[in-house]
Chain A
Amino acid sequence: MAIQTIPGLTGFVYSRIASMDKRAVGKLTDANHLESFHSTEPADYDKKIISLYTQSSLYSNDFLDMINKSTPYYIDNNSDSWKWEVQVPCKFPKIIDIPASTLNLSKPGIDGQEFQVVLDTNEFSKNAVVSVGSRQYGPRWYVVKDPMPYNMGWLYTFTLVSDNPIVDYVSTTFLAIGIELELIDGVIGEFDQDLLGLPRLGEKIQMYESLGSAYGYEHKITEWADDKMMRDASGKPLDILVYAPQRRNQLPLTRNDIKWEPFIEFWMRKSMLEMKVKRMIWSKPGTVKTNGSKQELKRTSAGIYHRMRMNGNLVQYNRGEFSANLIRSVFGDLYYRRVDVKDRHVKMYTNESGFDVFQQALKNDALNSGLTFVADSGNRYMQGEGQHITYNWAFDAMVTRETGKVELIHLKELDLPQSNLEFGQNKKSTPVYMVFDVSPMSDGSMVNNIREVRMQGAPSMTWGYIDGTRHHLGFAKSQGMSSANKFPGYELWMKDRCDIFIEDLSRTVLIEEIPQI
C-alpha cells in the first residue's frame, strides 16, 4: 500500500514504527497485532526506502520553541479560572439619539434657537463649546445647561456658535447618530459662576478565562507482545514507518528499539507534544459533555488562531488581492497616534505561500512606484553573463512610514498539511499571517504577550504505568513485582492540562484570505 501523499511538502522521515496500511496502533498491542505488521515479507528492493518528494512529517515544533520562551502563568489558588483587567481606549462622546423636537426643526440652531441632542456621556457641562464631527470643518455648539439623564444617555441643550446667526443653522450632516463631539473651549462671562467640569475617568474592564480540559493518551501491551523481539534473523531492528515529527534542516528521526514499550513511550510523548501544539493554535472554544449529553461538562478553550480571529484585529482579503498597501493601511491604522514612526516594527509569522504572496505584492508595489529598476545594477538583480544569467530578486521585508520595518518569519506550523477543503489553488497551505505583538516594547515574537497557562500544582505533564502481570520494564522486573491487577501485560498513560492565553489581543493581527468554504 502506498504512503498517503499530501502534496506541497517536502522531506520524508522514518523511524521504526507503523506499517503503511492506515491501521491505527490504537490503545492495545497484543502479539497478533505486532505480527500483523510484519506478516508477509516480499523481497527487498535494492533501495529499501525511497525518499519521495512528498509529505511525511506531521509536526514541526517551532511554535513550541517560541511559546517556551514566554514565562508560563501558573494558577495558584483553588480556582480553574483567572482574571485580569484591560484598559478601554479613550473615545469621544457620541450622539446616540436625536429627539423629535429637534428633528421637527426646519433649520435647527438658526438665530440662537436652542436644539437638543442625546449623547452617551455627561462629560460636557454648561458653558462648554464642543466641535461636532470634525475639529477642522465641524460646527461649534455651545452647551446651554448641564445635561439631564435620558434613557441610556444624556440630553443636552445646545445653541450654535456663529458669526452670522440670522442665516447660519446646523447642517443635517452633523445632526446624525454616531457623530462624535470634542471639547474645544469654555465660554465664561463676567457674572457666570458655572465653570467646566473635568472629563470622565479612564475605564478598565475585568476579564476572566478558565483553564480548558486535559488531554492524554493510553496504551496497553500484553506480555506476549512484550516478549517479542522486533528484529530480523540477523539481529537488525525491523523497519516500521511512522509519520513522525521532524524539523526542517535536521536529520531524520530514528529509533532503534528492539522492544515495543520504549518506542510506544517515545511515540506517546511525541504525540502529547503534537496535540499540545495543535490545540494551542487551532482549538475552537466550546463545551462538550462526557458520554454525549448526560455527564461532566468539559470546556475546550480557544487556540491562538481563534482568539485572534474572533477577538483581536482581523483582516480578511480576497484571494489574489494581498498588497503592500493592505499592510500600510492595517498597521498604519494600528500605529497611528500610538507609536512613534521610528519605533514601528512589524513581524509577521507566516507560511510559504504567505512568503509567495508577500513577495509578489512587494514586487508589484515596487514596479508601480515609479522607480526604475536597471538590470545592470551590479549583481543586485542578475548574476552571470551571456547564456548563463541568473534572474534573482525578491523582497522579504519593506519599510514604510506607516508601518516601520515589516518582515516575515517562517512559522512552519502553518505549513503543515491541510485537509482537503483547505487547499489553496496552488495546493499549498493558504496564506495566513499572524502578528503576535505590534507594541514597540516587544521584539514581535510571542514573548510575554502569549503565554502557557497551567495549574501551579501540575507544572508539566504527568505519566505512569499500570503494571498487570508484566512489569513495564520487562520480564526481569516482573519477578516479585507488585501488580496493580491481573491484566496480562501492562498499561501506560500520559496526561496534561494546559492552555494558551493572549494577554493583550489588541497587539495582535491576523491576516488571512477570506474563506471560500
Chain B
Amino acid sequence: MGKIGKISTIKKDYSVSGMQTMQGSLSQRGLTRIPGTGVFKYPYKEIDGKYRTGLDDKASYIKRISDPTERKIEEERVNKLKQKLQDALGGIDLGPRSPFWNYSLSTSTDDSLHVQPVKLMDGDNYFDLNVPLQELAFSWLRVHPTIASSYQAWERGDYPAETQFYVVDDDVENLVVFKKKVLINKAISKFDSMTPDKKKKVARLLGLPVTDSTTEESVYNQVDNILKQHEFKSGTFQGLSTVEVFNRFADMKENVLHIKDLVKQAVQYSIYRIKPTGKVYEGEFEVAADEDELVKFLSDDDNQDALLTLEGKLKMKKLAAV
C-alpha cells in the first residue's frame, strides 16, 4: 500500500455544559461542522515574507523547536523531501520565497506553476504521498499554524483550543519519541554508573532539592523524574532540554563539578549572595562579577587557599544548620 498522509478533525466534547447546542449535536454524530462545508487552506506566509512550506530547514518554526534531536530530525526530513519533490515536479523552485507559493499569482484553477488551495472537510482528509502534488500539499498543511502538528500537541496546549484539524502522522511522531527515549535511557544509564557523591552534585546543579542527608534512592528518583520531563518547567534552565543540561554536568571534569557544586551550596547556605545584576557578594564585599568567574577563580591552583576557606565555611554552616 502506498504511504498516506492524513489530516483529521479534532473531535471535541460538548456535553459538559449539558445544553443542547449545534456543536453538541454535530459532536454526537461524530461531526465537527455542517456536512458539506469545508475550510480552504493556503500555504501560510510568515511576517518575514517566507512561506511555511514544510520544505525549509531554516524555517522559524524549526528554529523554535527547543529539543535539538527533534530539530535535527525535522531538518533532515524536510531537506530530503524538498529535493525529492523538486525533482518530481520538474525542478520547480520550492524555496520559501518562491512565487510558486503565492496563490494570488495563480491564473486559473488548474495553474500548476502555483500552489492550489486545499479544501479540508470534516473527518479524515487523505493525501496519497506517492502523488507528488498531494505530498506537496501535505507538506505545507502539516506545518500550517491552524493545523495542530499532532493530537497530543493540541492536547498539550501548543495550539489554540479552537484549532479544528490535526496531522495524523504516526511515523514522524514515533521517530521523534523513539530518539528522545533513546537519549533519556542513555542519560539514566550514565547517571546509574556515577558515584553517590557525584550523583548528589549533579542533582544539586540540576536545581533539585538535594542535601547531604538525602538518601541515594531519593536522589535517583528525582533525577530520573526530571530526565523524563523532556524540558525544565521552571528555574534557571526553564525551557531547556533536561537531557542536554544533565549531559553538560555529567561530562564535566571532576574538579570543576566539585567547585560548581560548592558555589551552588555556598549560595544556598547564604555564604554568598547573588544580586539581580549577577554579581556575587560575600556580606558587603563583591567577590566576583558572576558565578562563572567565581568558579574560574576557585579552579585556579593559585587560589587553593580561597577554595579551602570556602569549604571550611560551608562545613561550619552545615553544622550550624543541624
What separation, in Å, do the CA atoms of A301 and B24 have in the docked complex?
13
Query: Counting CB contacts under 8 A, is A325 at the interface?
Result: yes
Q: Is the Cβ of A505 less than 8 Å from the Cβ of B34?
A: yes
Q: Is the Cβ of B35 less than 8 Å from the Cβ of A506?
A: yes
User: Contacts A172-B130, A287-B17 given: A311-B37 contact, CB under 8 Å?
Assistant: yes
Q: Is the Cβ of A98 less than 8 Å from the Cβ of B42?
A: no
What separation, in Å, do the CA atoms of A319 and B102 have in the docked complex?
11
Query: Counting CB contacts under 8 A, is B109 at the interface?
Result: yes
User: Contacts A207-B25, A321-B102, A322-B104 given: A172-B1 contact, CB under 8 Å?
Assistant: yes
Given contact pairs A209-B22, A318-B103, a sample of 17 additional A-B residue pairs in the complex whose CB atoms are under 8 Å apart? A86-B35, A89-B35, A176-B2, A205-B25, A208-B22, A209-B20, A307-B22, A311-B33, A312-B34, A312-B37, A314-B38, A315-B40, A318-B45, A325-B107, A368-B107, A506-B37, A514-B146
Q: Is the Cβ of B21 less than 8 Å from the Cβ of A285?
A: yes
Smallest CB-CB A-B distances: 3 pairs: A178-B126, A323-B104, A208-B20
Within 8 Å by CB of B26, from A102, A173, A311, A319, lies A311
Which residues of chain B from 1 to 58 have any CB-CB distance to chain A below 8 Å in the complex?
A: 1-2, 4, 6, 17-26, 29, 31-45, 47
What separation, in Å, do the CA atoms of A87 and B35 have in the docked complex?
8
Q: Is the Cβ of B4 less than 8 Å from the Cβ of A506?
A: no
Within 8 Å by CB of B25, from A102, A177, A206, A285, lies A206
Number of interface residues of A (CB under 8 A): 58
Q: Is the Cβ of B2 less than 8 Å from the Cβ of A175?
A: yes
Main SS at interface, chain A: mixed
Which residues of chain B from 118 to 160 have any CB-CB distance to chain A below 8 Å in the complex?
A: 119, 124-126, 128, 130-131, 146
- What B residues does A292 contact at CB under 8 A? none
Footprint of A on B, CB under 8 Å?
1-2, 4, 6, 17-26, 29, 31-45, 47, 102-109, 111, 116-117, 119, 124-126, 128, 130-131, 146, 162, 164
User: Contacts A318-B45, A505-B34 given: A207-B26 contact, CB under 8 Å?
Assistant: yes
User: Contacts A175-B2, A208-B24, A321-B104 given: A329-B128 contact, CB under 8 Å?
Assistant: no
Within 8 Å by CB of A81, from B20, B35, B43, B104, lies B20
A-B contact list, 8 entries, CB within 8 Å: A87-B35, A178-B125, A207-B22, A311-B33, A323-B104, A402-B109, A504-B34, A506-B34
Q: Is the Cβ of A320 less than 8 Å from the Cβ of B40?
A: no
- What A residues does B31 contact at CB under 8 A? 205
What separation, in Å, do the CA atoms of A342 and B162 have in the docked complex?
38
| B interface footprint on A300-337 (CB within 8 Å = 1, 0 otherwise) | 01000001001111111111111101101110110000
What separation, in Å, do the CA atoms of A100 and B174 have in the docked complex?
21
Q: Is the Cβ of B45 less than 8 Å from the Cβ of A319?
A: yes
Q: Is the Cβ of A316 less than 8 Å from the Cβ of B108?
A: no
Query: A81: nearest residue on chain B (CB-CB)?
Result: B20
- What A residues does B43 contact at CB under 8 A? 318
Within 8 Å by CB of A325, from B18, B37, B39, B106, lies B106
Q: Is the Cβ of A316 less than 8 Å from the Cβ of B26?
A: no
Query: B18: nearest residue on chain A (CB-CB)?
Result: A297
User: Contacts A103-B1, A172-B1, A328-B109 given: A316-B25 contact, CB under 8 Å?
Assistant: no
- What A residues does B103 contact at CB under 8 A? 317-318, 321, 323, 325-326
Which residues of chain A from 59 to 89 have any CB-CB distance to chain B below 8 Å in the complex?
A: 81, 83, 86-89
Q: Is the Cβ of A287 less than 8 Å from the Cβ of B41?
A: no
Query: B19: nearest residue on chain A (CB-CB)?
Result: A210
- What B residues does A505 contact at CB under 8 A? 33-34, 37
- What A residues does B34 contact at CB under 8 A? 86, 311-312, 504-506
Within 8 Å by CB of A316, from B29, B35, B42, B111, lies B42
Q: Is the Cβ of B29 less than 8 Å from the Cβ of A205?
A: yes
What separation, in Å, do the CA atoms of A419 and B29 have in the docked complex?
38
Query: B43: nearest residue on chain A (CB-CB)?
Result: A318
Query: B145: nearest residue on chain A (CB-CB)?
Result: A514
Q: Is the Cβ of A325 less than 8 Å from the Cβ of B108?
A: yes
Q: Is the Cβ of A325 less than 8 Å from the Cβ of B21?
A: no
Q: Is the Cβ of B117 less than 8 Å from the Cβ of A329?
A: yes
What separation, in Å, do the CA atoms of A314 and B107 have in the docked complex?
22
B72 to chain A, nearest CB (A): 29
- What B residues does A301 contact at CB under 8 A? 21
Query: Counting CB contacts under 8 A, is A405 at the interface?
Result: no
Which residues of chain A from 499 to 513 have any CB-CB distance to chain B below 8 Å in the complex?
A: 504-506
